[in-house]
Amino acid sequence: MEKQIINTPTAPAPIGPYNQAILAGDILFISGQICIDPDTGTLKKQDIQEETHQVMHNLRAILTASDMGFHNVVKTTIFITDMNRFSEINEVYGKYFADIFPARETVQVSALPKFVNVEISMIAVK
């Protein structure tokens, strides 16, 4: 199976030895995204809503670079540092999907890169 590396300047550059995404056949595996603004390189985390919106914008940019959209997403993983903030994150996250929500798990972790509050990864299918 051929694998294609997906990297777009409209999403943050990886902060480690990985790619933004890998397209394997018709399946897109998107690395976890945090609230880095790709234009400035700064974190957008005034509050949990802004942080979650930036994460979703970054994911959308990678989907778009792969000729896909949120309607192609079949699975997400949400990592959060405080499960008490789940409903706030979930409210923002839900606005990005139309009628069909992907499968998902949400996991509380002790810390995330750059000490952000939320990171989301996705799997999408063409």
Q: What is the mean pLDDT of residues 24-50?
A: 97
Residue 99's pLDDT band (boundaries 50, 70, 90)?
confident
The pLDDT of residue 1: 81
Report the number of distinct structural domains present in the chain: 1
Range of 46's domain? Answer: 3-125
Model-wide pTM > 0.85: yes
β pairing state of 73-80 and 103-108:
parallel
- Count of CB atoms within 10 A of residue 36's CB? 22
CATH at residue 67: 3.30.1330.40
